[in-house]
Amino acid sequence: MPALPNVGASMYKRMPSRDGTNSVDLEDDSEYLQDDMVQEYTDPPLRHSLPHVLVASIVSFLFGYHLGVVNEPLESISHDLGFNGNSLAEGLIVSTCLGGAFVGSLFSGWIADEFGRRRTFQLCALPMVIGAACSATTNSLTGMLLGRFIVGIGLGIGPPVAALYITEVSPPSVRGTYGSFIQISTCLGLLGALLIGIPVKSISGWWRICFWLSTIPSTVLALAMIFCAESPHWLYKRGRNTEAEVEFQKLLGPANVRSAMAELLNSDKVDENDTVSISELIYGRHFRVVFIGSTLFALQQLSGINAIFYFSSTVFRSAGVPSNLANAFVGIVNLFGSIIALLLMDKLGRKVLLLWSFFGMAVSTVFQVIAAGLFSSTSGALYLSVGGMLMFVFSFAIGAGPVPGLLLSEIFPSRIRAKAMAFCMSVHWVFNFMVGLLFLRLLELMGPQLLYAMLGTFCLMGAAFVKRNVMETKGKTLQEIEIALLPQD
């Protein structure tokens, strides 16, 4: 992307608003670029943008909750619905949600660009309410699978939009901190599902309450979004400049509106084609950033983090620790690591956290390999297994967990951001499904030593890829990042 010259009014062709709103005159656009009229940007008080980010983070809470809601109640569900002992059916209850998420992620970019970020949040809440109600009231396996698939569609639509919305409404100085809220909310959702599921063995039908409770945050999300700001970037792309100014005032305060609008105008391109094709993402001029994003998500899943979560109960039980307590340990460590990431994201930067995260996961797999080579009855093997697993989860939580979603929404240009995020999230769901499907089978065929060595190799590949391909985005505006990454025309 060439350096932007001094811009006159004649260089900007704003698209008319598709809802009939008149776009701002070109002369009005150009006046934002007059140096003597644009105030210097200052860090706005967090009270302006924080409430909007917290509401958007409800999506991530629901993401964590629905992934964990069947863990504890699965045995009761299988007994009540008549498929007790059918491991395939139990696996389908988990994986069907992932399949729905893949389908939802394919459409999330189009929905976010067509209807706006706020309306997309409300639309993704609808299948999560309907699907949860279906699961809570069903008396058959078919009804449970249908409910889980519908919930999955909402989960596929929501998280990509949450990542790009938080990026677009956040001041540059705290964008990384706000992005960490996504991972923290996911951890809280997982912990919430665990805690709510504890009474399931003592209270008949409690698993239905677990599903019903999830409709509360979904409803809160849909209603609270009515009062949240729309993304100024989306409004500007639709030619609704006046509305974008109003939203910037809500998010940044009056003092920063003119400088924020100037940044948007400086990033504008002479390109009236608003459609983004798959071919443009895969091998067009945006190939580099889409390749970085897709590979980061693939390596995130190939590190084996979800398999580690699935296998953690077995490892802890071998050490004499009850599964409930084991899951609590993993959840607390995951949450603690996410809080550390929040504190460091805008201090150390995204790239440093990613490097140390992948490297830390690789080291922890070495502990697992050594432990698997020792006699399982020895205390040393148990300490190494438990310690290595907790270290793996912590390392993931400080970087490989929260950073990719934030980084991708930063490096994608505004024109392709929603659709590129959807494309990369679909890659995430495919690899998530593959790892979950094949892990136990690979464990039987390869044994724990070879399997953990393979996972460690993927983690080292992740560190090498980050070192070579990922740029630091800390403190940079979205426009500065776009200029740095796009190739010269």
pLDDT tens-digit series, residues 273-332: 456 666 666 776 778 888 888 999 999 999 988 766 655 655 666 556 666 676 778 888
> Which tens digit of pLDDT belongs to each residue from 336-351?
998 998 888 888 888 9
pLDDT of residue 209: 95
CA-CA distances (angstroms) from residue 287 to 159, 296, 301, 381, 473? 22, 14, 21, 45, 19
Helix H or strand E encompassing 256: none
Q: Give dist(CA 396, CA 54) in Å, integer.
A: 23
Q: Is the pLDDT of residue 16 over 80?
A: no
Burial class (CB in 10 A: 0-12, 13-18, 19+), 1: middle
pLDDT of residue 321: 63
Helix H or strand E encompassing 67: helix 58-68
Name the one residue in this structure whose structure tokens are 């698939």: 149
| Mean pLDDT, rounded, for 93-104 | 87
Q: Interhelix angle for 175-197 vs 46-56, to 10°?
A: 40
Helix H or strand E encompassing 343: helix 323-344
Largest CA distance in the chain: 77
| Mean pLDDT, rounded, for 182-196 | 87
Please give the full DSSP string across 314-331, using - where no structure is assigned: HHHHHTT--HHHHHHHHH
Burial class (CB in 10 A: 0-12, 13-18, 19+), 196: buried
Contact predicate 390/470, CB 8 Å: no
pLDDT of residue 228: 93
pLDDT band at 23 (very low <50, low <70, confident <90, very high): very low
pLDDT band at 130 (very low <50, low <70, confident <90, very high): very high
- Angle (nearest 5°) at CA 222 between 219 and 223: 85
Q: Give dist(CA 349, CA 45) in Å, integer.
A: 21
> Which tens digit of pLDDT belongs to each residue from 225-255?
999 999 998 898 888 888 988 888 888 888 7
Among the four given CATH numbers 3.50.50.60, 1.20.1250.20, 3.40.50.2300, 3.30.360.10, the one describing domain 44-228 = 1.20.1250.20
Q: What is the CATH number that goes with domain 276-488?
A: 1.20.1250.20
Torsion of CA 48, 231, 354, 364, to 10 degrees: 90
Q: Is the pLDDT of residue 36 over 60?
A: no
How many secondary structure helices (H) and strands (E) does the chain include?
22, 0
pLDDT of residue 415: 74
Contact predicate 166/53, CB 8 Å: yes
| Mean pLDDT, rounded, for 54-78 | 89
pLDDT of residue 318: 59
Domain with CATH 1.20.1250.20 in the chain: 44-228, 276-488
> Which tens digit of pLDDT belongs to each residue from 133-174?
999 999 999 999 999 999 999 999 998 899 889 988 888 778
> Which tens digit of pLDDT belongs to each residue from 373-415?
765 556 677 778 778 888 999 999 999 988 888 888 888 877 7
Task: Return all residues near 122 (Cβ < 8 A) that are at least 6 apart.
Answer: 221, 222, 225
Q: Give dist(CA 198, CA 322) in Å, integer.
A: 13
Task: Return all residues near 187 (Cβ < 8 A) that are at least 6 apart.
Answer: 64, 331, 334, 335, 338, 397
Amino acid at site 232? P
pLDDT band at 370 (very low <50, low <70, confident <90, very high): confident
424 compared with 307, residue with greater pLDDT: 424
Contact predicate 185/60, CB 8 Å: yes
Amino acid at site 53? V
Task: Return all residues near 21 (Cβ < 8 A) that are at least 6 apart.
Answer: 238, 239, 240, 242, 243
Give the CA radius of gyration of the chain. Answer: 23
Average pLDDT of the chain? 80
